[in-house]
Structure formats: C-alpha cells, structure tokens
Structure 1
C-alpha cells in the first residue's frame, strides 16, 4: 500500500485516561494503512496504554489542570511515540524488577518492564517525565495463544 510519507500526530490533552487511551486508535489505523503485522499493532497499543496511564496517574497524579503531550509518528518501518507529563518525574533506574521473588506480590513496576520488553527501544528524559518509545516493524517475538485476545 502506498502512503504519502509518515503519519504524524501531536496533541496536548488533560490528565484523563479515557482521552489518552482514545488517541491510540489513530496510530493503529496509520499502522494498518502501512501493513504493520498484527503482533506489532498489539504490542504497540499495549505499550502506549501503559505509558499514557503512567503519565496521567503517576506523573500528573490525575490532576485535570495538568496536561500530557502525546506525539506520535508512524512510517513504513518505524513507529515513534513520545509522551510528556507535567509531573516531577522519576528515576527509571529506581524501579525494582517485579520479577524478583520478594516482589512478585508487590504491585508496581510491571508496566515499565512490559514497555521495555515489547518495544524496540525506550528512553526517558533526564527529568523522568518524558518517555520515548520506538517500535521497528517485525521486531516482535512470535505471539503466544494468550496474546491474541
């Protein structure tokens, strides 16, 4: 399928998870127009959902007076997503690995781990209030039967 260059999107939204979650449908449509595999669609949506919820809940503490900037680009071979909140930020290195035996029952940290596992690259700004995620087309392990629900 032929497209006229990369699809680009940028919007500042209030700290409302329903608004934030709704934006991913436009990205998925752009990915489908560029023949991205279903596994990449699924994983990109999952990573986006985790990141937007983290920005709204943990970054902006659901403060409707604070905004979240969502920027996305979709090309034929790469998706780029950047989410910036108005929170104080955090140190990504300070998140304990939730796979450690003593942390298996403790909530928290799983979203960041999931994002790192399913995206091609993940970086944070120095403040820790901005995440940049990149997905390379086809950079996904085969989907398990549990993934296609």
Structure 2
C-alpha cells in the first residue's frame, strides 16, 4: 500500500502545478487515493504479483488520472447504492460514489485482465477548476 501514498502525492503535485487551490487539490488527491486503494484491494486482491499502472497528465484543459489494475474486472453500473437504507451502516461500498462526487468525469474501461479507471478534473483559464 506504500504505492498508494506515492500516487496520492503525485496527484497533489500535478494539481498544485496546475494552480488549483488547497481544497481542490485535497479533493483530487482523495479521489485518486480511493481509486488506487480500490485497485490494490478489490482489483488485485492484495496479490503482490499483480501491479497497478498509473498515469497522470495535465492536458492544459483537464487533469487526467488513469489507474489500472490486473484483476477480474467488475460492472460499475451494478454497484449497490451506498445511500440505500440497507447500505448506510456498511463499512465499505462508498469508494466509487465518493470518486464520482469529487471528479468532473469518471470512466471505466475493461481490460483483459483488469479495469482501468479514468478520473478527469476540468480546468478553467489559468489552471483554475471549472
């Protein structure tokens, strides 16, 4: 899980270089951290022989973060609703919901093996969040 902290730090640095304020940087770092944790825990199932692949890019109009695992994949459209009464007291199951609430766009792509999660934060003029 040491790599998760490195991914979070790199995401924060990219957001800082883009001129985002501390709150925006915190939201991005939290979303990227959650995605990386999900890749290690749920995707790769803590298997030390499996890797996660991460890319971070400032396109000038967007910050784009991609996290890919080597797991069995999943269908993001069939996740339980974390706000449903039967799920409110569960200790898990809010990661994707959180990521979607913090980022402007979230996309899933099935790999063979694995899943790639793309997180996008739109930038305004001079690197400010839109």
Per-residue deviation, residues 25-73 of structure 1 (Å, max 9, x unmatched): 2232232223112222011000001000000000001111111100110
Q: Confirm or deny: 8 A CA contact 1:34 1:75 kept in the other structure.
A: no
Q: Confirm or deny: 8 A CA contact 1:72 1:81 kept in the other structure.
A: yes
RMSD of Structure 2 on Structure 1 (CA):
1.6
Cα deviation, residue 104, structure 1:
0.7
Residue aligning to 2:39 = 55
Residue aligning to 1:134 = 120
Residue aligning to 2:70 = 86
Aligned counterpart for 2:56 among listed residues 68, 72, 77: 72
Looking at structure 2, the residues matched to 53 and 102 of structure 1 have their Cα atoms a distance apart, in angstroms, of: 24
TM-score by length of 1: 0.75
1:20 matches 2:41: no
1:119 matches 2:103: yes
Gaps of 5+ in 1: 1-16, 140-149
Q: Which runs of 4 or more aligned residues in structure 1 lie more than 6 Å from their structure 2 counterparts after TM superposition?
A: none
Cα deviation, residue 74, structure 1:
2.1
TM-score by length of 2: 0.86
Looking at structure 1, the residues matched to 56 and 85 of structure 2 have their Cα atoms a distance apart, in angstroms, of: 36
Looking at structure 2, the residues matched to 130 and 43 of structure 1 have their Cα atoms a distance apart, in angstroms, of: 20
Aligned counterpart for 2:82 among listed residues 98, 105, 111: 98
1:37 matches 2:21: yes
Question: Secondary structure at the residue paired with 2:48?
Answer: coil
